[in-house]
Amino acid sequence: MTSGRQDLDSIRQMVESVLRKSEERFRQVVESAPNAMVMSNSGGIIEMVNAQAERVFGYDRAEILGHPVEMLIPERFRHHHPGMRASFYASARSRPMGAGRDLYGIRKDGSEFPMEIGLNPIETDEGTKVLAAIVDISDRKQKEERIHAALKEKEILLGEVHHRVKNNLQIISSLLELQSAKVTDPIAFESLKDSQRRIRSMALIHQILYQSKDVGHVNFESFLDGLVPTLMSAYVTDAERVSLSVGAVDVRLPISAAIPCGLIVNELMSNALKHAFPGERRGEINVNFLHQADNRVALSVSDDGIGIPETLDIAQTETLGLQLVSLLTDQLGGILTIHRADPTCFLLEFPIER
């Protein structure tokens, strides 16, 4: 009988010692964790903190144990806290706190710092407690802000560059204008005018780039809005005779695609205006730009004019316009499909990287 009792006693002692050891180990793990750990009860009273929590908040643990967790939160956020605690207890599971919101802690000296918090429910004999793992993210925030500032600066600089490129292109265009005034040969005169218009359409792209918020992409609708009136006034004396409609909803091109594409539109629209409606012929020109699947865009320029002369071999033109179009199509990695009449249509499809 006695030996039976002794056995029980020694088993109990063993169990207690194992429990003590495991509790001690848990305490050590929490104590030396790299995150600040704060355990509070359902009433929001702090029951345990680790060494890192003392460091992060600047308190000795004797100053916080037994106090409400709200003392670690800046005044302006305190009133939310009891409600948040209630909702955590309502469905207690591990989760990040305040997802999507910036959280702040307050140190003993009154200074604030941004933090991230993970909440974990801990089941104990005295009920469920909340163990909060807290990370001071001041460093990361500061780095993020520095990167943001640097990025902003780069964007401003890039805008500045586009502005200068545009001004330089405008100067070239003015030089050609001056030169054309001195030329008496009509063919030479027209060539200079064409070059001037090409350069102006490139300048327009840079203008749109520095005026837009996104200096890396060109909103093609804005580009066409700017291009159409200048081309119309260059080629059509009677605006009633030829109408032009543009559809380009929300097509944004990276700069690498925007310049060649802008030049192509310039050529194709100029051609339609110049060649499709000779004499008093009336009609319309349609420019359409749309996104296709798989990061491809399609640009079509069509007109209901006289059509491309049957004698013309499009692949072998001597003229610069269509040569430029085919060269720039290659540069875009695109495919050009031409429909010669009824309606005359140039369809350009090309890929863009997003």
Ligand X SMILES: Nc1ncnc2c1ncn2[C@@H]1O[C@H](COP(=O)(O)OP(=O)(O)OP(=O)(O)O)[C@@H](O)[C@H]1O
Binding residues for ligand X (CB under 6 A): 194, 267, 271-272, 274-276, 303, 305-309, 312, 317, 319-322, 344
CB of 204 to ligand X, least distance (A): 18
Residues 6 or more apart from 282 whose CB is under 8 A from it? 241, 242
Nearest to 66 by CA among 43, 88, 33: 43
Of the two residues 4 and 309, which places its CB atom closer to ligand X in the complex? Answer: 309
Of the two residues 159 and 321, which places its CB atom closer to Mg ion in the complex? Answer: 321
User: Which partner in Mg ion, ligand X, none is near 302 (CB below 5 to 8 A by kind)?
Assistant: none
Q: Which of 98, 121, 159, 321 binds Mg ion (CB under 5 A)?
A: 321
**Phi and psi angles of residue 337, each rounded to the nearest 5 degrees, phi first:** -115, 130
In 249-340, beta strands by DSSP E: 252-254, 283-292, 296-303, 335-339
Of the two residues 180 and 212, which places its CB atom closer to ligand X in the complex? Answer: 180
* CB-CB contact of 80 with 58 (8 Å): no
**Phi and psi angles of residue 119, each rounded to the nearest 5 degrees, phi first:** -110, 135
Of the two residues 198 and 252, which places its CB atom closer to Mg ion in the complex? Answer: 198
According to CB under 5 A, which residues from 216 to 245 bind Mg ion?
Answer: none
- How many residues in the shown chain lie near Mg ion by CB under 5 A? 2
Residues 6 or more apart from 64 whose CB is under 8 A from it? 46, 49, 53, 57, 71, 72
**Phi and psi angles of residue 28, each rounded to the nearest 5 degrees, phi first:** -65, -45
Of the two residues 56 and 273, which places its CB atom closer to ligand X in the complex? Answer: 273
The Cα–Cα gap between 225 and 219 comes to 10
CB of 334 to ligand X, least distance (A): 18
Of the two residues 10 and 317, which places its CB atom closer to Mg ion in the complex? Answer: 317
Long-range CB contacts (< 8 A, 24+ apart) of 53-59?
53/134, 56/105, 56/107, 56/113, 56/134, 56/136, 57/105, 57/106, 57/107, 57/108, 58/107, 58/108, 58/109, 59/108
CB of 185 to ligand X, least distance (A): 15
Of the two residues 204 and 273, which places its CB atom closer to ligand X in the complex? Answer: 273
According to CB under 5 A, which residues from 133 to 162 bind Mg ion?
Answer: none
CB of 272 to Mg ion, least distance (A): 9
Taking CB under 5 A as the rule, does residue 271 contact Mg ion?
yes
* CB-CB contact of 292 with 349 (8 Å): yes
Nearest to 121 by CA among 91, 154, 149: 91
Stretch that binds Mg ion, among 161-169, 220-228, 315-323, 343-351 (CB under 5 A): 315-323
CB of 346 to ligand X, least distance (A): 8
User: Which partner in ligand X, Mg ion, none is near 317 (CB below 5 to 8 A by kind)?
Assistant: ligand X
131 token code pair: 């163990």
Of the two residues 41 and 191, which places its CB atom closer to ligand X in the complex? Answer: 191
User: Which partner in ligand X, Mg ion, none is near 320 (CB below 5 to 8 A by kind)?
Assistant: ligand X
CB of 307 to ligand X, least distance (A): 6
CB of 190 to ligand X, least distance (A): 7
**What is the identity of the amino acid at 58?**
G
* CB-CB contact of 352 with 257 (8 Å): yes
Stretch that binds Mg ion, among 23-31, 47-55, 136-144, 320-328 (CB under 5 A): 320-328
User: Which partner in Mg ion, ligand X, none is near 203 (CB below 5 to 8 A by kind)?
Assistant: none
The Cα–Cα gap between 311 and 46 comes to 91
Of the two residues 238 and 310, which places its CB atom closer to ligand X in the complex? Answer: 310
CB of 301 to Mg ion, least distance (A): 12
CB of 314 to ligand X, least distance (A): 7
Q: Which residues bind Mg ion (CB under 5 A)?
A: 271, 321
